Structure formats: C-alpha cells, structure tokens
Chains A and B, each alone.
Chain A
Amino acid sequence: MNNFTPVSALAGGVLIGVASVWLLAANGRIAGVSGILHGLFAQPPGDRAWRAAFIAGLLVAGVVWQFFLPANQNPMHWGWLALAGLLVGFGTRIGGGCTSGHGVCGLGRFSLRSLVAVVVFMAAGMAATYVIRHVL
C-alpha cells in the first residue's frame, strides 16, 4: 500500500462531487460522462451544445493540469486499449452509465440500480485486472 494517496484522492473526489452538483443545479443534467459522450453521437441529434461544452471543460482541465504537472502515462499496447475502449463504450451504453453516472451521481441519489451497477463493474474490473496482471 505504498502508493496510497488519501488526501489528494479525497480532495479530488470532493471536486468531482461539487462539479456534479453544479451541473445538476445549473443545467439540470446528470454528470454521467458516458451518457454525455454517447449523446453527442445519438441519432437524431439533440442537445449537443451543453455536452460538447462539458467535454471541452474536461479537455481544458487536462491541458491546464499538465501545464503544471506532467501526466503519468501507463504504456500499454494499443491493441489492448482498442479492445478496452470498445468494451467501455458498448457496456456503458447498454448499462446506462459509468463510474460517474452510476457511481458518483447514482449512489448520491441512493439508487439501488446504480449500486448494483457499481458492484458489478468493480467486480468485473477486478477480475479483468487479475487476469491481465497475474494470469497472462
């Protein structure tokens, strides 16, 4: 557990929570990043402006952050990342949410649906990581 970073983790988590409350209060929207992204590519096209604005905010955050601290990249073969991306995109669309929508927002409204989703995706994530790091 030498990599445990409780203070920055908690502080970052609080910022994510405040941002989610902000989006709900100001825009009446749930800060579920997968839903925001998938909605950009929905047919027929609908409310794209706020979705694009939120994602632009995420991108600018990355640029600003790396101006001060270089990103810690985890070199992984692009083939694995292509498979991972496909599964994440497909699964979040079918399951209606990801770590933010089901995790941060769904748990915040005490939704059993989201609690089930969180338990399932955490378990599946741990299983996949176990296979990749300890079996293959």
Chain B
Amino acid sequence: MISAFGAGLLFGIGLWLSGMANPGKVLDFLDVAGHWDPSLLLVMGGAVAVTAVAFRPLLKRTPMDLKSSVDKQLVIGAAIFGLGWGIGGYCPGPALTALSTFSAEVLVFVGAMIAGGVLARIASPAGPGA
C-alpha cells in the first residue's frame, strides 16, 4: 500500500518534471509537421533505460504471466488510444496527475476515459485487462 503510493508519487513527479503532464508539450511532440519538440523521446528513453536494466532480473526472480502475442485487438486498441492521445494530448498517467489542477477539462477527460474503459469491457468482456 505505502509502496504503491510512493511509486505513484515518484511516477507523478517524473511526469511533471518531464513535461508529460503538459498536454501542449505532448502535442508539440506528436506534431511532426509543425515545430516538432523531440523531448518526449528522451522521457521514454530515460524511463526505458532504467526498466531495461532492472526489469529482467526482477521478472526472473518472480515470473509474471504477461502477454506476448501480437494480435488484432492489440493493434486496434493501440490505434484508438493513439487517436485520443493525439486529440487531447493526455494519456492516462498525465491525465490523472493533472486532476490536481482542478480544471474542468481534465475532469471531463478522466470521466470519459473511465467510461471508455467500461464500454470496452462491456463490448469485449474477455478483454486483456492490464
């Protein structure tokens, strides 16, 4: 419990420091035809550099049942997610931590995001979950 809270806190600080919690900056990264801002490549690079080193020994110690297949659901789901990300500039983590701004727009986004997840569960009950 406390460790999950701490991990969330650190994750959130990382989102703010990196600029991910600023939807304008995210859209500047996705806007390759405009004033392209490559910063988010470094956010992803910095994060993956850490997980690439540490995840393998951890997963070896305690194996998890993680999916590895590439299927139609994965591609369709990722494409739909990407369209929403490119419209609003929010993916789930930044949207949740940005709730702290008490802005009505973020509240609308998060409410719709939760509803979208519930809709997907109803449409495809055997869906992949996490």
Contact = CB atoms under 8 A, between A and B. Distances in A.
A42 B80 contact: no
| Chain B, interface residues (CB within 8 Å), range | 35 or more
Judged by DSSP, the binding face of B is helix
A98 B63 CA distance: 22
A63 B92 contact: no
B81 A98 contact: yes
Contacts of A105: 51, 55
Contacts of A84: 84-85, 87-90, 109, 112
B107 to A, nearest CB: 9
8 contacts: A10-B42, A13-B44, A36-B130, A89-B112, A94-B77, A107-B52, A116-B78, A129-B87
Contacts of B2: 53
Nearest to B93: A33
Contacts of B64: 28, 30
A90 B83 contact: no
Interface residues of A, number: 116
Given A18-B10, A21-B58, A87 B87 contact: yes
B74 A23 contact: no
Given A8-B17, A15-B17, A88 B88 contact: yes
Given A10-B42, A17-B51, A111-B68, A53 B78 contact: no
A94 B120 contact: yes
A134 to B, nearest CB: 6
Interface in B83-101: 83-93, 95-101
B92 A16 contact: no
Interface in A99-125: 99-105, 107-113, 116-118, 120-125
Contacts of A27: 3-4, 7
Interface in A64-91: 64-66, 69, 71-76, 78, 80-91
Contacts of A103: 44, 47-48
B115 A38 contact: no
Contacts of B59: 24, 109
